[in-house]
Structure 1
Amino acid sequence: MTGAPHFDYYVLGAIGLLALCSFLTRAGYFLFGDYFPLSDGVRRALRYAPTAALVGIVVPELLPWHANTGYALDIKMLAAVAAVGLYWRTRSSLLVIVGGMFAYWILRLLSELRF
């Protein structure tokens, strides 16, 4: 460690406590789920958790505006539009991933070749 000993112990302790909290919240239901059954309403709501997490990760990356610059059309947004169109046409998740990345690579290559 590079800093003062009390600071290093503080950082290591914080990392350890955060790891413990993360483990308990993630593994808690697996360990104690049989003792605390979920209601039907909670089960229905949890069906949307993976979709909400994916939207929370993808949408901020695709938003076409940035701080202090305003609206800007980005290559990522165009590739996402191509991927969504591909999904509407084929309904294949794997094809969406491959086609979206292919569209992104092609658009990036074309933007770099532009003089």
Structure 2
Amino acid sequence: MIGDLHFDLYVLGAIALLAVCSFVTRAGYFLFGDYFPLSDGVRRALRYAPTAALIGIVVPELLPWHADTGYVFDIKVLAAVAAVALYWRTRSTLLVIVGGMIAYWILRLLSDLPL
């Protein structure tokens, strides 16, 4: 490592602490889950956690406006529409991922062509 030793140790300590926190929060239920059973309401609510996380990641990336520039049309929205249409047709998660990426690549290639 190059730089101030105190700063480097601080960064490494922060990384190690975050790794421990991540491990404890992810593995905690597997280690202590038998001692703290979840209620049915909590179990039903946790069913939607992966969907909520995915929406929280994908939707801000697809919104066609940005705080500093205003409304911006992006080909990502068209690729997402193609992926949703593909899911409606096939109900396959793998095809949504592959089809959405292929649609994005094709649209990006077409947008880079000179008119």
TM-score between the two structures when normalised by the length of structure 1:
0.91
Within 5 A, what are the aligned runs for 1:5-24? 5-24=5-24
- Residue 59 of structure 1 aligns with an amino acid whose one-letter code is V
Unaligned runs of 5+ in 1: none
Distance apart, 1:112 and its partner CA? 0.8
Aligned length: 115
Pair 1:4 & 2:18 matched:
no
Aligned position for 1:94? 94
TM-score between the two structures when normalised by the length of structure 2:
0.91
Q: Distance in 2 between matches of 1:100 and 1:53?
A: 19
Aligned position for 2:56? 56
Unaligned runs of 5+ in 2: none
- 4+ runs deviating over 3 angstroms: none
The two structures, once aligned, show a CA RMSD in angstroms of 1.3
Q: 1:4 to 1:97 in 2, by over 3 A?
A: closer
Q: Distance in 1 between matches of 2:4 and 2:95?
A: 52
Q: Distance in 2 between matches of 1:9 and 1:99?
A: 45
| Higher mean displacement: 89-98 or 23-32 | 89-98
Distance apart, 1:28 and its partner CA? 0.4
Aligned position for 2:108? 108
| Higher mean displacement: 44-53 or 96-105 | 96-105
